[in-house]
Amino acid sequence: MRRLGQGLARTIFWSYERGSWPYDVMVLTIIAFVLLTPRSWFHDQPRLADSGTAGVQLVSQDSVGKMRTYRLDAAMLSPEKRAKKSTPELERETHDIIERKVQEFKEQRFRVVQIDPTLSGDGSVLYYSVTIVL
């Protein structure tokens, strides 16, 4: 019983010498676990940024309803398309995302008039304030 306890303690604290058979068995066990464990056991499902209206929120609109400002999460854009200032490509991308995400704009025309990025402390873009005109 004592020998079993010592073996268990050495396994938990990884105190076998490199190249010994118990060390090799532990390494093979870990490799087998990583390669053979089904993904479904961990319920690891990627979060899709495109689900529902996640990432796009109405912030404000004027009294007539012709001008609206949306908050667009920067994660909705691929990293290479995120810019710290407004560009034609960024306007096109934000227009397409709002058109897909906001139900009422699927059949309606609108124009992006202003894009203001909000930066984090490290200088990366957190979100965009996108102003549109109907």
Each residue's pLDDT tens digit, 95-104? 888 888 888 7
Domain ranges of the chain: 2-42, 56-133
Q: What is the pLDDT of residue 51?
A: 45
Instruction: Estimate the crossing angle of helix 2-12 against helix 21-36, to 10 degrees.
Output: 60
pTM score: 0.56
The Cα–Cα gap between 16 and 96 comes to 58
Mean pLDDT of 6-12: 88
